[in-house]
Structure 1
Amino acid sequence: MMRALLLFLTLGVASAEDGLAAWLRYAPLPGVAKSEGSIPSNIVALNATTTSPVYTAGLELQKGIQGIFGKQVSITHQSIESLSTVVVGTVDAYAQEYGLDDDDTADLEADGFWLSTLNGTIQILGQNERGALYGAFEYLSMLAQGNFSQVSYISNPNAPIRWVNQWDNMDGSIERGYGGPSIFFQNGLIVNDLSRAEDYARLLASVRINGAIINNVNANASLLTPQNIAGLKRVADVFRPYGVQLGISLNFASPQLLGNLSTFDPLDASVIDWWTNITDQIYEAVPDMAGYLVKANSEGQPGPITYNRTLAQGANLFAKALQPYGGVAMFRAFVYNQLNESDWRADRANAAVQFFKDLDGQFDDNVVVQIKYGPIDFQVREPTSPLFANLLQTNTAIELEVAQEYLGQQCHLVYLAPLWKTVLDFDLKVDNQSSVVSDIISGKRFNRPLGGSAAVVNVGTNNTWLGSHLAMSNLYAYGRLAWAPTQDPEAILQDWTRLTFSRDPTVLRAITQMSMESWPAYENYSGNLGVQTLTDILYTHFGPNPQSMDNNGWGQWTRADHLTIGMDRTVSNGTGFAGQYPPEIAAMYEDPSTTPDDLLLWFHHVNYTHVLHSGKTVIQHFYDAHYNGSAVAQTFVPLWESLKGKIDDQRYNHVLFRQEYQAGHSIVWRDAISNFYHNLSGIPDTENRVGNHPWRIEAESMSLAGYKPYQVSPFEMASNYTAIVTLTNSTVGTADTTLNFPDGKYDVGVNYFDLIGGISRWDVSLNNNSIASWTGNLENVLGHAPSIYLDGHSATRKTIRGVQVKKGDVLKIVGTPNGIEPAPLDYVVFLPEGVLD
């Protein structure tokens, strides 16, 4: 039966789901009879060992076929002669049982698989056991999407290393964790119940991720105690059947912190012995451990430079301990120092090349330098890190981030695969030869033995895993691109949508549109032209605060003043960063006329009146982009609402809540950035939008009782720079006003501030008839890093739809404070149909 069957399948009614199954729901395919010939009647898994990924593949096939077709299929571990059979195993095991034409599998590489659905028997053969499991998941993905095509093909990975980095702390918290506590740690120990860790390994295996570093790179040395090493063994035991290898992050100073040595000098004999002994202990417990991840001499972490040793000497300390076991030492290139912004040539972006270029060739062969995709830190757009073009004799891996640290923290929909593709596809032209990043990290370009990808992932105990159902598209896409970076992000997204939600064309179109527009929209309303995401880099990294981007030592600068903006990273007059690229790329970035507009302010310091290739000035582009990006975010709400009844209520309501939040917070972003640069430059918006809000009523202009005006700082975080707060934290506040809008139906938006440390209540009425009530509990339901201040992080909006209003009506808002939260209000807006604030 061919793909055309999709046209005839009846789409099922949405049933309750919580998201825990993610894209492995194996939802039923109504309309496909159990007797359908293409549905296997037998499963042969060519390994009976319960810890084997091949054994797991058999169980997964059984579960998938049961879920998709409602058909119970038995499993055997010996060859049988029957049509309508699916056989899964390694090439060697299959050849021993059945014989095999080597031509079919001769090109298989480690972890690769051959999938054939021809001739009535489905063959899923891996080069190794992990590859066989990957092939089983591939076949089930086809079936779950209603794809019954006749296929025969080999699939090999782009690179051997496809890892995730968890930022879990030993106390159970997660750095940048927006989806609940750790599934691995609690109270300084490995958790007793590892069922969620097993579920996670299954998800990782389904997208062909083969390694997981389970603790924060800001590592706690206590992970290496005997009790926790025993705990690591338990984690590895639940990972092993899924082909996922356990890895851990190390604290470089562990010999001193845990081993009571007087030093952690990597060349000291006692330190070398200590690490060798610890590594021996870990491999005795976990013989297939993937290796170590090390963050050294960065952001206050200890490292070899403390003893005037090189980073290569530090990395090789671990590589030598791991080498007898085949382990990999991943060494992060995220090394930088605080800088003085008054130095025109100071530039954090220069750090990676400055620290690592001269060490090329000095790293052992089992060291992989892990390089963030851009030279700063997971920004909404960065140029490709030039370090990829400067390590020709060193294994490298790209570091991506599923955790949306600077990109909305899973409260804003931002589908990241298109961003990642801009880097993976970038050609660095090393030695005037094609040098695409995906070929560099695979080891192909410079003939290196190791390489690949790592992604920071912040899964937690929340049933959504990441705090948001839609954010899971990023984890799925990461695995797919780590395996095959040439894949199309939109095609990946549509596979994920069919598997996660529905094959309904309406669902597919809506989620595709929302997701594919999400990164450009977020870039537009947060920070564009390469100026970076204008978030608060000194506090939560969530909401807007352009003032925080300068006058600090962290180096994420815009160098904005009343006339100019942007970092001059040219060789001729700036920090010299552009010169870190090979000549052809360096020449492009050296000249503003050849630098792409979307990176102009990354490389050049220009006037606000500088004219872009688009024909707009920089400042007008800022205004237009922020208004356009926010306008796109408003469309995500009706797009999602069009899916009511086509997606189960639990997940539908969860996503709707977040899309309504994003729509409101995108306006907070838009106004904060537009007002800041309007005030700084003094240049008006040609469309007269900035600071002009005819449908708003400022809270401080209303009649107040129990409320008082409050000057918000930074000023751009509140409309008209001012909010109102209750007189005391036990005083109920009232704000009322007589409306002067034409009679009609309006969407009413109430902008307020939701602080951590209290859950205030707001009640809104019209002519004493209640139209809305809510509490300020976003810190409990959204999951982002909250704030104790009235600022761009706590600013949000409640929208009340379709309110009938007559001129002269009285609007009243009653704010009841709680804890430290004084029921703060910013403004109210009445929007006629089709009007954007």
Structure 2
Amino acid sequence: MFSFLFFASFGLVAAENGLDGWLRYAPLPSADSYHDGIPSKIVALNDTKISPVYTAGQELQQGISGIFGKELDVQYDDCTSFSSIVVGTVEEYSNGGGETDDIPELEADGFYLSVDGDSVKILGQNERGALYGAFEYLSLLAQGNTSEFSYASNPSAPIRWINQWDNLVSGGTHGSVERGYGGPSIFYKDGYIKEDQTRAAQYARLLASIGVNAVVVNNVNANASFLTEANMDGLKRIADVFRPYGVQLGLSLFFASPKDLGGLDTFDPLDESVVEWWHDVTDKLYRRIPDMAGYLVKANSEGQPGPFTYNRTLADAANLFAKTVKPYGGVCMFRAFVYDHTTLNQTLDWKADRANAAVEFFKELDGQFMDNVVVQIKYGPIDFQVREPVSPLFANLLETNTAIELQITQEYLGQQAHVVYLPPLWKTILDFDLRVEGQPSLTREIVSGARFKRPLGGYAGVANVGTNTTWLGSHLAMSNLYAYGRLAWDPTHSSERLVQDWTRLTFGLDSSVVDTITQLSLESWPAYENYTGNLGIQTLTDILFGHYGPNPASQDGNPWGQWTRADNDSIGMDRTVWNGTGFAGQYPAEVAAMYEDIETTPDDLLLWFHHVPYTQRLKSGKTVIQHFYDAHYAGSATAQTFVSLWESLKGKIDDQRYEEQLFRLKYQAGHSLVWRDAVNGFYHSLSGIADEKGRVGNYSWRIEAENMTLEGYEPYSVHPPSMASETRAIVTSSNSTQGTASAVLSVKPGTYNLAVNYFDLAIGRSKWEVFLNEESVGSWEGDSEYVLGHAPSFYLDGTSATRITFENVEVGNGDLLKIVGVPDGEEPAPLDYVSLLPVGIVD
């Protein structure tokens, strides 16, 4: 619809820390030249300070000032005056004498935006819609679009929520965030809700700018103490700072609260005393927060209590809460993430399959839920993996409202320490045609409510921001939060357009910056899939601990159901009807037939649906095992290019954000090699099949630490073995004595990149220093647990494995290489290997 102006680099802004996100309102170059075309005042059709329309007026004033350096007054009447930006509802505009005949019909939260010379109209179906229109207008201006246009915009779905997995307390004084990698909670501290909710207000502003209309402010693994009188008062404080931005507060409930907190002897959802208790609690909440969005409930999953304790159904449970909020216009979001990990046993039962659980639990309940219940379904049948088929539950609930749950926080996808731009992954789900009853049935049209003509539906995004000024822990990760809101509003947006818009707003209009970040972002998910887990095998992360580093051995023989069934000869879950778990049969007939047949199953989901020998030929002609080897090398090679791509932007991005992101990209480049070697090494050892290209297990540039001359260090067998090169590392002999590893180099003299792979455990801050001929090359500290934010590890494993590289080191034949490690705490300064790499070579 629009064209945007691009500019050559025109000088740097002051250092930025990321707090403003995409709402920087950075000055346009030659801003003065635009002044004549900008309206002379702003008219906001509501002067009540908690009104989103009032907020829109203030935001327009701030934005115009920042982008153009022009100060406009905000007035609150005379909506028909010339040379003005009028913002308000269609109704208020009409009541003030404005002409509305040319305004298209708007849905709830929708807006009409018209720019005609220096006359601008921003009119919402409701006040929230007017604010959304104001943010849209400012977004266009900030991207250099000053053209004339008029159009209406309506959201694809009424529910566009964020799930915060925040806890009041968790082993410390600050509120923690489960699967959050951007610091402690912005809401909670010392077991209570903060008095100062400034960051919550800033968060609401960011969310309103992308059309998000509610936030569930606490963990789905909920805590009953949120329902104390003091904490209800605290929740009101959060809701009060949300309200001017049109963001409603939602609350996650602990199912057993009537017994745990209320003193009842039961939490049976059909017991009259329990029903009365929940109604009383709900009334108290709505007296404090009259616009509360509603409840989110996780029940009978992963150890959480639920209705099965009393032989009640999940519909009984959901309807209990739906009845309490219905008089207030509230919604009950009920998670479909229900499975019993205590009953899963892959060893004894070939047909056991956690992926079957959602349909098994919910299909028979279709039509039994109240009309203000929304079943919240994870995008895939397992758990936010790097690639999954769409959950078949979307095609099995024809008479029930549904919402799709997307995880913005990268739990299994690099935890913001790796750049992984997620919209291309989400689009594979949203654009998938489930062919319900043989008719077009795109997932996005099901969750919007359109396909089955349901009144509610939409999106729930797990965002988990923290107090870090980057919000998510990484500047580039914020593109996922931005894109989530934009896709929830309009899921037909392209991934490319979204990252381009975000980049212009976040880093400026320089075309080389936009092109480079777009390229890096669009390559990131395919690269991550390649070096972690492909062919539908899922992300081969450590399932038993932090869900971060590689550990393919952990996928099987556990009760969590993310199995690969890998043995010495074959790999993959058989989910066919004829011989496997039957999961394929949960889809409508056309889709089920495609997945049932190995010939029609797409290769990128082959191992999700079929158990095959490692020698199975793919459509590419490669064997499964050779594809594994090649893909892991290709993905990690792509990750190396991210560093040079980012370095090409030096001087075009402010120094602070440039350096902070460069550090993370260098870390990702190194950790992608850890992933590559761990996964390839594991399957090489398991299958006994060699890499046709001779790479796996053959690393000619490496010096194994255990083969160096050791003083104060000793060899250590790493478990699982594939987590270390040649299965071993070295650790200091004691936690109080430094260690030295040395080797005389036999190399062709020249310039090398010197890479050291070590283990950075979260139980100390060891120090290392590298010397050549007694001259220091560089030093570092094992402090990643403080600077990266990913799940920590206390062990020598794929999570703690890290690489540091010293570039352009002059090395001569016979030089003495020495590494000195100083342990700290319980961290024994572990080392894995050293690589001496000719410039341009990656081992």
Q: TM-score, normalised by structure 1?
A: 0.99
1:777 pairs with one of 776, 783, 808: 783
Q: Any conservation in 2 of the 1:739–1:809 contact (CA below 8 Å)?
A: yes
Decide whether aligned partners of structure 1 residues 7 and 538 sit closer, same or farther in structure 2, where only a CA change above 3 A counts. closer
Aligned to 2:29: 30
Q: Any conservation in 2 of the 1:37–1:84 contact (CA below 8 Å)?
A: no
Aligned partner of residue 661 in structure 1, secondary structure: helix
Distance apart, 1:736 and its partner CA: 0.6
AA of the residue aligned to 1:194: Q
Aligned to 1:189: 192
Aligned to 2:136: 138
Q: Any conservation in 1 of the 2:336–2:376 contact (CA below 8 Å)?
A: yes
Structure 2: gaps of 5 or more residues: 170-174
| Structure 2 residue 388 is matched with structure 1 residue 390 | no
Distance apart, 1:30 and its partner CA: 1.9
Distance apart, 1:836 and its partner CA: 1.3
1:750 pairs with one of 751, 756, 759: 756
| Structure 2 residue 219 is matched with structure 1 residue 221 | no
2:707 pairs with one of 698, 701, 705: 701
Distance in 2, matches of 1:34 and 1:308, equals 71
| Structure 2 residue 370 is matched with structure 1 residue 364 | yes
Distance apart, 1:12 and its partner CA: 3.3
Aligned partner of residue 112 in structure 2, secondary structure: strand
1:177 pairs with one of 176, 180, 189: 180
Aligned partner of residue 36 in structure 2, secondary structure: coil
Tell which deviates more after alignment, 473-482 or 503-512: 503-512
Aligned partner of residue 531 in structure 1, secondary structure: coil
Distance apart, 1:104 and its partner CA: 1.8
Distance in 1, matches of 2:690 and 2:543, equals 27
Q: TM-score, normalised by structure 2?
A: 0.98
Aligned to 1:570: 576
2:346 pairs with one of 331, 341, 348: 341
Aligned to 2:465: 459
Aligned partner of residue 368 in structure 1, secondary structure: strand
1:825 pairs with one of 806, 831, 839: 831
The CA deviation string for residues 401-421 of structure 1, in whole angstroms up to 9 with x for no partner, is: 011000000000000000000
Structure 1: gaps of 5 or more residues: none
Distance apart, 1:119 and its partner CA: 4.1
Decide whether aligned partners of structure 1 residues 81 and 366 sit closer, same or farther in structure 2, where only a CA change above 3 A counts. closer
Decide whether aligned partners of structure 1 residues 700 and 230 sit closer, same or farther in structure 2, where only a CA change above 3 A counts. same
Distance apart, 1:79 and its partner CA: 1.2
Distance apart, 1:7 and its partner CA: 5.2
Q: Any conservation in 2 of the 1:14–1:645 contact (CA below 8 Å)?
A: no
Aligned partner of residue 513 in structure 1, secondary structure: helix
Aligned to 1:811: 817
1:116 pairs with one of 110, 114, 117: 114
Q: Any conservation in 2 of the 1:180–1:467 contact (CA below 8 Å)?
A: yes
Aligned to 1:296: 299
Tell which deviates more after alignment, 93-102 or 814-823: 93-102
Distance apart, 1:82 and its partner CA: 4.2
Q: Any conservation in 2 of the 1:251–1:294 contact (CA below 8 Å)?
A: yes
Distance apart, 1:381 and its partner CA: 0.3
Aligned to 2:153: 155
| Structure 2 residue 304 is matched with structure 1 residue 306 | no
Q: Any conservation in 2 of the 1:14–1:646 contact (CA below 8 Å)?
A: no
Aligned to 2:12: 13
Distance in 2, matches of 1:561 and 1:10, equals 55
AA of the residue aligned to 2:36: G
Distance apart, 1:357 and its partner CA: 0.1
- The equivalences for 1:369-384 within 5 A come to 369-384=375-390
Distance in 1, matches of 2:225 and 2:35, equals 56
Q: Any conservation in 1 of the 2:195–2:237 contact (CA below 8 Å)?
A: no
Q: Any conservation in 1 of the 2:52–2:243 contact (CA below 8 Å)?
A: yes
Aligned to 1:271: 274
Decide whether aligned partners of structure 1 residues 196 and 832 sit closer, same or farther in structure 2, where only a CA change above 3 A counts. same
Distance in 1, matches of 2:584 and 2:642, equals 38
Distance in 2, matches of 1:86 and 1:403, equals 37
Q: Any conservation in 2 of the 1:9–1:29 contact (CA below 8 Å)?
A: no
Aligned partner of residue 85 in structure 2, secondary structure: strand
Aligned to 1:204: 207
Distance apart, 1:99 and its partner CA: 2.7
Q: Any conservation in 1 of the 2:9–2:652 contact (CA below 8 Å)?
A: no
Distance apart, 1:80 and its partner CA: 5.4
Aligned to 2:64: 65
Distance in 2, matches of 1:63 and 1:81, equals 22
Distance apart, 1:85 and its partner CA: 1.2
The CA deviation string for residues 317-342 of structure 1, in whole angstroms up to 9 with x for no partner, is: 00001110010000000000120112
Aligned to 1:89: 88
Distance in 1, matches of 2:706 and 2:499, equals 45
The CA deviation string for residues 121-143 of structure 1, in whole angstroms up to 9 with x for no partner, is: 11000000000000000000000
| Structure 2 residue 452 is matched with structure 1 residue 446 | yes
Distance apart, 1:700 and its partner CA: 0.6
Distance apart, 1:187 and its partner CA: 2.0
- The equivalences for 1:348-359 within 5 A come to 348-359=354-365
Q: Any conservation in 1 of the 2:164–2:218 contact (CA below 8 Å)?
A: yes
| Structure 2 residue 586 is matched with structure 1 residue 583 | no
The CA deviation string for residues 345-369 of structure 1, in whole angstroms up to 9 with x for no partner, is: 0000000000000000000000000
Q: Any conservation in 2 of the 1:401–1:456 contact (CA below 8 Å)?
A: yes
Decide whether aligned partners of structure 1 residues 680 and 8 sit closer, same or farther in structure 2, where only a CA change above 3 A counts. closer
2:658 pairs with one of 652, 668, 680: 652
AA of the residue aligned to 1:70: G
Aligned to 1:322: 325
Distance in 2, matches of 1:74 and 1:772, equals 56
Aligned to 1:102: 101
Size of the aligned set, in residue pairs, is 834
Question: Among the aligned pairs, what percent are the same residue?
Answer: 69
Distance in 2, matches of 1:50 and 1:34, equals 33
Distance in 1, matches of 2:498 and 2:38, equals 25
1:248 pairs with one of 242, 251, 266: 251
Aligned to 2:172: none
Aligned partner of residue 37 in structure 1, secondary structure: helix
Decide whether aligned partners of structure 1 residues 769 and 23 sit closer, same or farther in structure 2, where only a CA change above 3 A counts. same
